[in-house]
Amino acid sequence: MGRKVLLFLFVGVLGAWYLYTPLPVNNEQPWELMCMDVGLKTVSNLMLLVELLGISHFMTSSLFLMRFLETPPTSDENVTVVDTTFHNISVRVYVPKRKTKTLRRGIFYIHGGGFCLGSAALYGYDRLSRLTANRLDAVVISTNYRLAPKHHFPAHVDDVYNTLRWFLRQAVLQEYGVDPKRIGVSGDSSGGTLAAAVVQQLTQDQDVKVKVKVQALIYPALQGLDFDLPSYREKANCPILSRWLTLRFCSEYITTDRSLEKAMSTNQHIPVHAAHLFQFVNWSSLLPERFRKGHIYKKPTFGSSALANKYPGLLDVRASPLLANDTQLRGLPKTYVLTCEHDVLRDDGLMYITRLRNVGILVTHDHIEDGFHGLVSFGLKFGARAENQYIKWLSENL
């Protein structure tokens, strides 16, 4: 009897410890968030076990499970939804049903999922795209792209750039009734990385005549050089996206070779011959004072050049859009950036804002003080607030 009680207590305490995630005060939906985090943590731990047992790669089994959160392309009373392909890559297209005599705005959306997970068909993304199409009376193209670990950089960015270029062709814009002067590119998380990368690429591409009017980056990852930013230090164990998971995603994007992840975890993955690139991600000069407070900038510790020689993606501007120099940034369109306080990726967004403003790009910044990574695609109430801010900006600027 006594032993059973003890066991019960033990399991209870363990369970409470497992469930409890310290949350900042003033969050409107602490329980919903905590439950979601615990759900994700549990699934992720199970998938790690599956990987440890040699059954399946962590990301492959996670991606498989995610398929159950997908929804078919179903039209509703306001929006016609179809799956099709652009340049052999599958995209989901949302066209408003209401009649219009003028051309519509076009939004090219890139989903997140750490370069390994996710799709345009995920319930949260499908909902966001419908909402955007309906509220803005816009055509939304939500693109898919090849994922890691099956495909590594630059497959993702190549796919997205190819679908974007396909969309920007005159014949395609005409087919969907899209105004070539009112096109925006948006993405969240790793989709924000890809959005920033393809918009940079587009501004320098002489072959594409149609340019985008705006870009919107929702808690984007923008560099893979420095994983010791204040946000990585402070938010390493925040819900939804931990530092550990971020490094797993970022390293898988480049290679399945786990030695890269290991080097990243101690921030020793960049060789000394690339030291000059740290000027572009130098948080001690690029972060606003209030985010730097209490942190001391440490000179980067350089690693061996073997990794960077083997995986040149590590130093590629298409994987780390913050590495673009000022000349390259100057051509960029009007920009919206949404950052969340409790997010390891917070400082990536903040540094990009500083760099863009330094060269005269107009940037609107929404910082969600009680926000967590991924909040827009989860469908919680405080996510809807951020979502509304993003859609409002598009409606006023696109």
Ligand X SMILES: *[C@@H]1O[C@H](CO)[C@@H](O)[C@H](O)[C@H]1NC(C)=O
> Cβ contacts of residue 290 below 8 Å, gap of 6+?
none
In the complex, what is the shortest distance from the CB of residue 351 to ligand X, in angstroms, rounded to a whole number?
Answer: 12
Compare residues 44 and 328 and give the one whose CB is closer to ligand X: 328
154 preceded by a cis bond (ω within 30 of 0): yes
**What is the DSSP secondary-structure string of 65-122?**
HHGGGB------SSEEEEEEEETTEEEEEEEE-S--SSPEEEEEEE--STTTS--TTB
- Which chain residues interact with ligand X by CB under 6 A? 76-78, 87-88, 134, 278-279, 282, 284-285, 325, 327-328
Annotated active-site residue in 37, 126, 159, 343: 343
In the complex, what is the shortest distance from the CB of residue 255 to ligand X, in angstroms, rounded to a whole number?
Answer: 24
Whether 119 is a known active-site residue: answer no
In the complex, what is the shortest distance from the CB of residue 335 to ligand X, in angstroms, rounded to a whole number?
Answer: 19
Compare residues 174 and 284 and give the one whose CB is closer to ligand X: 284
In the complex, what is the shortest distance from the CB of residue 278 to ligand X, in angstroms, rounded to a whole number?
Answer: 4
Whether 111 is a known active-site residue: answer no
Compare residues 279 and 301 and give the one whose CB is closer to ligand X: 279
Annotated active-site residue in 119, 126, 373, 377: 373
3-state secondary structure at position 146 = coil
In the complex, what is the shortest distance from the CB of residue 276 to ligand X, in angstroms, rounded to a whole number?
Answer: 8
Whether 316 is a known active-site residue: answer no
- Give the residue among 86, 141, 365, 343 at the shortest CA–CA distance from 236: 343
Which residue pairs, CB below 8 angstroms and at least 24 apart, start in 21-30? 21/239, 23/239, 24/341, 24/342, 24/370, 26/369, 26/370, 27/370, 27/382, 28/370, 28/381, 28/382, 29/380, 29/381, 29/382
149 preceded by a cis bond (ω within 30 of 0): yes
Annotated active-site residue in 189, 231, 320, 377: 189
Compare residues 77 and 207 and give the one whose CB is closer to ligand X: 77
In contact, 19 and 13? CB cutoff 8 Å: no
Compare residues 88 and 100 and give the one whose CB is closer to ligand X: 88
Compare residues 13 and 272 and give the one whose CB is closer to ligand X: 272
In the complex, what is the shortest distance from the CB of residue 98 to ligand X, in angstroms, rounded to a whole number?
Answer: 9
In contact, 200 and 230? CB cutoff 8 Å: no
- Give the residue among 244, 280, 258, 102 at the shortest CA–CA distance from 179: 102
In contact, 110 and 195? CB cutoff 8 Å: yes
C-alpha span between 60 and 149 (Å, rounded): 7
C-alpha span between 254 and 233 (Å, rounded): 23
In the complex, what is the shortest distance from the CB of residue 302 to ligand X, in angstroms, rounded to a whole number?
Answer: 11
3-state secondary structure at position 166 = helix
**Beta bridge pairs of residue 142:** 92, 109
Compare residues 244 and 297 and give the one whose CB is closer to ligand X: 297
Query: Which residues have a catalytic role annotated?
Result: 189, 343, 373
